[in-house]
Homo-oligomer: A and B are copies of this chain.
Amino acid sequence: MRLVRLLLPFVFLPFSVIAQTGPILKLMPLPASVQPGSGQLLITLNFSLGLDGYSEPRLERAEARFLDHLRVKTGMLKTNMSIVPAAAAVLVIHVGRANKGVQELGEDESYTLQVRTTGAQLSAPTPLGALRGLQTFLQLVEITPTGFSVPAVEIQDAPRFPWRGLMIDVSRHFFSLDVLKRNLDGMEAVKLNVFHWHLSDNQGFRVESKKFPKLQEMGSGGQYYTQDEVRELIAYARDRGIRVVPEFDMPGHSTAWFVGYPELASGPGPYTIEGQWGVFDPAMDVTEEHTYKFLDEFIGEMAKLFPDQFFHIGGDEVNGKQWDENAKIQAFMKSRGIKTHDDLQAYFNSHIQAIVSKHGKTMEGWDEILRPDLPKDVVIQSWRGQDSLASAAQQGYRGLLSFGYYLDLMWPASQHYAVDPMTGATANLDAAGKRRILGGEACEWSEYASPENLDSRIWPRAAAIAERLWSAQSVTDVNSMYARLEYVSLDLNGLGLTHRSSYEPMLRRLAGDGDVDALRVLADVVEPVKNYDREELAKTPMTSATPLNRLIDAARPESHVAREFSASVDKLLAGQLDPAGKAQMRATLELWRDNDARLQPTIRGSFLLQEDATLSQSLSALGVIGLQAMDAMDGGQALSDDWKSQQLAFLKEAEKPSAQLLLTVAPSVQKMVEGGVAVAAAARENP
């Protein structure tokens, strides 16, 4: 599902108070059990690894890939690091048996990893576990005073949930195979195991059909994957222990099908590929036999192309308007006693389920498809939340959670991290019901994602969701999560993901000849508006041709600077900020105060930055206010009520979106103003 407004309040969650103890293990997701040892295993130029027990070409490729990543991580690019017989290897990998020919839900992904000063042993029942363990080993590699090394440790690990997915919408914006592959590399690094490929929607049909070639020829604007490319991606995913679940959204979200095959639609047509975002009227004519004949043949073709057991039929957001306006459909409903859109869609779903089942697949769909008359093997992907999921489980259906995991809503990682598939209603399920909760999927809907910024919309935040789905439910320390997320982010950069590297060129483009450093100061403290506010605030409707080259498109979903500033302000107000911290805070506020003067000429010179002039002014004003608050606190002077109310009025404005961006440090400055009085009073008493 996409566009129904989720009525969620946007809150920054308070940091967990659980303290991190000992050195941080640079692992994400955190393993089930970690026993630190003593000493470390040095990674030398002669590092080697070798396979023991069961072997297969996939494992050999995994070894080679592991060495490539190890070379990048250590900068030891041309070395003798090599694959050798297990008896001679520094890292011995023991695998028990093969996985299934096509990766199945719930296959064993467990592994144990023992690292000693003299060598390491990775043991796993199946290749899948070995893949997971190799990623753990790579994450542990760090630079130390004596060399690159891995700390001695004993890890036993297995996932909490068997279904840990990432969905990418390639319909609203198309992404080439290269872009998808690097995101699969990212998935492997954080142990996600399902790539959900949202392949069709109103804005584009993205797979070659040989039976119905007008689907891609007329429905994609030339941007689609050939069947060879699909097979290539599936093989790439299998190498990384990732299942590929295709989604063909129906009976709504299907305008792109109708461009080539208008006879499938409930309205008269003709149709063109939808260029705008939203929920649209076109829907399949679910009363016609020829629709089912078409879908039978199409699903038959796709069931062969995509080997995974699950076949996602979407099923979300049918507004029913075309059904209402079609007299034939109305007559059909009347004759069968079908009263509502939901009932008509249920009629469709049961037919589709039969077709999907006939072709050997298990049907999956969004919440809307659920009706008690469907067979119990159907899987529900819930954008609605734990209540909906629990209700499905009680009825005997398996489900996975995507509510709370929509990356395109621009939430901070901590907010996603706080969402657990097993809370609220799901937590109250009986044991059998709980077993039906398979896991979850992070979703990236691509209205505002281009090949240039897709990675920064997904990463590193998806890693926090990956941890939620792999690690124990009790792993909830947000500070620890953020510390480890930074390491993961750097590793992902080394894999070729562009979530970090695309920032600077996008800012340079905006600044032109201007002061890119000043622009960065501003860009570092703004975030795109949350949830669906970008659409709400748009002056003109965006389309798929609208360039994504504004500051909102370059800005990171979550501002590190703002998060750190917020933590410092909390310390300041608690009287716990040391002099160095205070000096740092003053320097930061002065930087902001002076930044507008530096940035305005650049803004004037760039048509894309002109909308950001107010933000820049506001940031400088925040600097001034923050410094005044600090001065007052340092001097132990009370802040006048007049001053205070004046600043709070300004801050209220500054916290509103401007150019669809949020000035994320404004709430912290507001705290300084509000809290300043008390601190100043305390300072007067305890000078």
Contacts and interface: CB of A to CB of B under 8 A. Distances in A.
- Which of A77, A78, A500, A513 gathers most chain B CB within 10 Å? A78
Interface string A481-525: 000000000100110000011001110111111000000000000
Contacts of A145: 604-607, 610
A450 interface: yes
A75 B509 contact: yes
A74 interface: yes
Interface in A9-49: 24, 45
Nearest to A510: B143
A441 to B, nearest CB: 26
A549 B78 contact: no
A649 interface: no
A247 interface: no
Contacts of A548: 75, 77
A687 interface: no
A173 B174 CA distance: 37
Q: Which of A75, A501, A549 has the most CB of B within 10 A?
A: A75
A208 interface: no
Nearest to A487: B513
Taking chain A's interface residues, is the majority helix, strand, or loop, or is none over half, making it mixed?
loop
A453 B588 CA distance: 33
A146 interface: yes
A46 to B, nearest CB: 10
A98 interface: no
Contacts of A608: 143
A490 B506 contact: no
Contact of A452 (B75, B174, B508): B75
A547 interface: yes
Interface in A576-612: 604-608, 610
A544 interface: yes
Nearest to A451: B77
A510 B145 CA distance: 11
A147 B607 CA distance: 5
A76 interface: yes
A451 B608 CA distance: 36
Interface residues of A, number: 48
A4 interface: no
Nearest to A174: B78
A144 interface: yes
Contacts of A147: 607
A143 B512 contact: yes
A594 to B, nearest CB: 10
B79 A143 contact: no
B452 A547 contact: no
B505 A493 contact: yes
Contact of A545 (B78, B493, B504, B513): B78
A94 interface: no
Contact of A76 (B75, B510, B547, B607): B547
A142 interface: yes
A80 B545 contact: yes
A173 to B, nearest CB: 7
Q: Kindly name the residue among A80, A174, A509, A544 whose own CB sees the greatest number of chain B CB atoms within 10 A.
A: A509
Given A143-B607, A143-B608, A145-B606, A78 B544 contact: yes
B77 A547 contact: yes
A339 to B, nearest CB: 42
A243 interface: no
A352 to B, nearest CB: 32
28 contacts: A24-B513, A72-B452, A73-B509, A74-B547, A75-B506, A75-B509, A75-B547, A75-B548, A76-B547, A76-B549, A77-B450, A77-B452, A77-B547, A77-B548, A78-B173, A79-B545, A80-B545, A143-B605, A143-B606, A143-B608, A144-B606, A144-B607, A145-B604, A145-B610, A147-B607, A490-B508, A494-B505, A501-B501
Given A77-B548, A78-B547, A80-B545, 20 more contacts: A24-B513, A45-B547, A73-B509, A74-B547, A74-B549, A75-B452, A75-B549, A76-B549, A78-B174, A79-B545, A142-B512, A143-B510, A143-B512, A143-B606, A143-B607, A144-B605, A144-B606, A145-B604, A146-B607, A501-B501
